[in-house]
C-alpha cells in the first residue's frame, strides 16, 4: 500500500508527532466496497476511527453506523444520519444504556442471550433484535470468538424469546474475526447463517436482514519478514456475493444485508508521524546481542495493536540505508509496549529525533489513545480533505 501523495506530504511537513487521515482515500475505499457488494448496506464500526470528520464524510456518502454505546450513538447522530441507519451492535449493554439508546431513536439491537432480550423488551419495547452467532475466529489476527455470540442452537430460543416478549426478531449477525485472512471463514459463516435461517423458518420466524459484521482486512499490514500480508480481498468479495445470493434464495428473496467494516475502511488511509527516541544495542541475559528501536509512539499512544500487526515503517531521512534488525518499542515503562512478532529492519544510522512514518496505522489508533500514560500525550489528529 503506497500512501497517497496528500498523506505523504502531510507526514513530510509535520513538525511534531501526529496521526493523519486521508478522507479522500477513506471515501474511495467506501465507494469500492459498495460497488463490490451491491445490495449490502455499509454501517461503519465506529470504534475503528471515532473521528468526527471521518464519520461525517462516510455518512455523506451514505454509510450508517455500528455503535456500541449511547455516546457512540450520540456521536453518530451528530453526523446527521437518521437513527434508522444506526444500530446498537454491542451485545453487552446495561439497562440504562438500552433505555438511552431507545430514547435517542435506536430501534435495532444486537443480542446473544435471554437476559439481554428481557432487558431490551423492558427498556426498548417493540424494538428489533438481531442475534449474534459465535464464529471460530480462525484465520483472523484477532478472533473475537470468546466474548460475543451464541451457538446456532441457542439462537433459536433467543429469537423465540424476543418474539414472545413483543420484540421483532429481525436478523442474525456474525463477525468472522478482525483482519480475517481467509475466504474459508466467510464460507463457514454463510454455512452457519444458512443453517440457522432454515431452523428459524421451521419455527415460523422470518428474518428481514443478515448482518455480516466486520473483519474485512486492511491491505497494508506486513508479516515479520516485511512482506505484505496480502489478504485475498477479491476472493472474499466473491464469496460474500455468492453467500448473500444463496441466503436470499433460502429466504425466498426478502432479505437485506448489512456489513460493518471498521479496519478495512480506515487502516490504510491513516498514518502516524512519530520520531525516533533511540536505536540501542544490548545483550540479552543469554548473551545474544539485540537492537532495540525506541519510538515516541507505542502501544499506549496510537499503536495498541503493535503486538499483532507489523506496520510498515518509513524513515524519510534515511532513504538508502544499511539496515539492522531491531525490536520496535514504544516510550513507556511498560514491557508490553513493544512489537512482539519479530525484529524489523531499521537504518543503522537513525538518530534521536529522526522522523518515522508508521503506515496503515489508521484503524483502532485514536480510540486506543491513553490520556497521558507515563506523561506521553495522546497524538493530535489531522484530517486531510
Ligand X SMILES: *Cc1c(COP(=O)(O)O)cnc(C)c1O
**Residue of 101, 41, 94 lying closest to 74 (CA atoms):** 101
Positions in 300-359 near ligand X (CB under 6 A): none
- Inter-residue contact 246 to 293 (CB < 8 Å): no
Closest to ligand X by CB, 144 vs 279, is 144
| Least separation in angstroms between CB 5 and ligand X | 26
Closest to ligand X by CB, 68 vs 276, is 68
- Inter-residue contact 95 to 119 (CB < 8 Å): yes
Positions in 184-223 near ligand X (CB under 6 A): 213-216
- Inter-residue contact 359 to 271 (CB < 8 Å): yes
Residue 254's Cβ-count burial label (10 Å; 0-12, 13-18, 19+) is: exposed
| Least separation in angstroms between CB 57 and ligand X | 17
- Inter-residue contact 37 to 259 (CB < 8 Å): yes
Closest to ligand X by CB, 210 vs 326, is 210
- Inter-residue contact 102 to 123 (CB < 8 Å): yes
Closest to ligand X by CB, 267 vs 297, is 267
| Least separation in angstroms between CB 193 and ligand X | 15
Positions in 40-59 near ligand X (CB under 6 A): 45, 47-48
| Least separation in angstroms between CB 176 and ligand X | 8
H/E stretch holding 322: none
| Least separation in angstroms between CB 356 and ligand X | 25
**Residue 373 to residue 304: CA distance in whole angstroms:** 13
List the grid coordinates of 11.
507526514
Residue 181 lies near ligand X (rule: CB under 6 A):
no
- Inter-residue contact 181 to 216 (CB < 8 Å): no
**Residue of 324, 300, 316 lying closest to 356 (CA atoms):** 316
Closest to ligand X by CB, 332 vs 361, is 361
Start-to-end CA span in the chain (Å): 20
| Least separation in angstroms between CB 213 and ligand X | 5
Active-site residues, by number, are: 333
Positions in 70-99 near ligand X (CB under 6 A): 89
Positions in 150-179 near ligand X (CB under 6 A): 175, 178
- Candidates 137, 139, 231, 262; binder of ligand X (CB under 6 A) is 262
**Residue 97 to residue 13: CA distance in whole angstroms:** 43
Positions in 232-261 near ligand X (CB under 6 A): 260-261
SS3 at position 325? strand
Closest to ligand X by CB, 262 vs 331, is 262
Which residues bind to ligand X, rule: CB under 6 A?
45, 47-48, 66, 89, 175, 178, 213-216, 260-264
Amino acid at each position: 500500500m503506497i500512501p497517497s501523495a496528500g498523506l505523504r506530504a502531510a507526514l513530510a511537513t509535520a513538525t511534531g508527532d501526529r496521526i493523519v487521515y486521508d478522507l479522500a482515500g477513506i471515501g474511495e475505499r467506501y465507494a469500492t466496497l459498495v460497488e463490490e457488494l451491491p445490495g449490502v448496506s455499509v454501517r461503519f464500526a465506529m470504534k475503528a476511527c471515532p473521528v468526527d470528520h471521518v464519520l461525517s464524510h462516510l455518512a455523506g456518502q451514505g454509510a450508517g453506523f455500528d455503535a456500541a454505546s449511547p455516546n457512540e450513538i450520540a456521536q453518530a447522530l451528530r453526523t446527521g444520519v437518521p437513527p434508522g441507519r444506526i444500530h446498537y451492535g454491542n451485545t453487552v449493554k446495561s439497562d440504562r444504556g438500552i433505555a438511552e439508546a431507545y430514547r435517542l431513536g435506536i430501534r435495532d439491537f444486537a443480542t446473544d442471550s435471554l437476559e439481554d432480550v428481557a432487558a431490551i423488551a423492558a427498556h426498548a419495547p417493540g424494538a428489533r433484535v438481531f442475534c449474534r452467532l459465535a464464529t471460530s475466529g480462525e484465520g483472523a489476527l484477532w478472533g473475537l470468538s470468546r466474548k460475543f455470540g451464541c451457538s446456532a442452537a441457542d439462537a433459536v430460543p433467543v429469537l423465540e424469546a424476543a418474539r414472545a416478549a413483543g420484540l421483532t426478531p429481525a436478523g442474525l449477525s456474525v463477525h468472522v474475526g478482525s483482519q480475517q485472512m481467509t475466504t474459508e471463514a466467510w464460507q463457514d459463516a454463510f454455512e452457519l447463517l444458512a443453517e440457522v435461517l432454515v431452523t428459524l423458518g421451521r419455527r415460523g420466524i422470518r428474518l428481514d436482514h443478515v448482518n455480516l459484521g466486520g473483519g474485512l482486512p486492511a491491505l497494508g499490514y506486513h508479516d515479520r519478514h516485511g512482506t505484505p500480508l496480502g489478504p485475498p480481498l477479491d476472493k472474499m468479495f466473491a464469496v460474500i456475493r455468492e453467500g448473500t445470493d444463496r441466503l436470499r434464495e433460502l429466504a425466498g428473496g426478502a432479505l437485506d444485508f448489512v456489513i460493518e467494516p471498521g479496519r478495512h475502511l480506515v487502516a490504510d488511509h491513516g498514518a502516524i508521524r512519530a520520531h525516533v527516541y533511540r536505536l540501542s544495542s544490548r545483550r540479552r541475559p543469554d548473551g545474544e546481542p539485540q537492537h532495540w528501536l525506541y519510538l515516541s509512539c507505542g502501544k499506549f499512544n496510537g499503536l495498541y495493536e503493535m503486538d499483532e500487526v507489523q506496520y510498515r515503517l518509513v524513515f524519510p531521512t534515511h532513504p538508502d540505508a544499511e539496515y539492522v534488525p531491531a525490536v520496535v518499542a514504544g516510550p513507556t515503562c511498560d514491557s508490553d509496549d513493544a512489537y512482539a512478532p519479530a525484529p524489523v529492519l531499521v537504518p543503522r544510522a537513525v538518530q534521536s529525533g529522526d522522523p518515522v512514518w508508521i503506515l496503515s496505522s489508521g484503524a483502532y489508533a485514536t480510540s486506543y489513545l491513553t490520556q497521558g500514560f507515563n506523561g506521553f500525550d495522546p497524538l493530535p489528529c489531522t484530517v486531510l480533505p
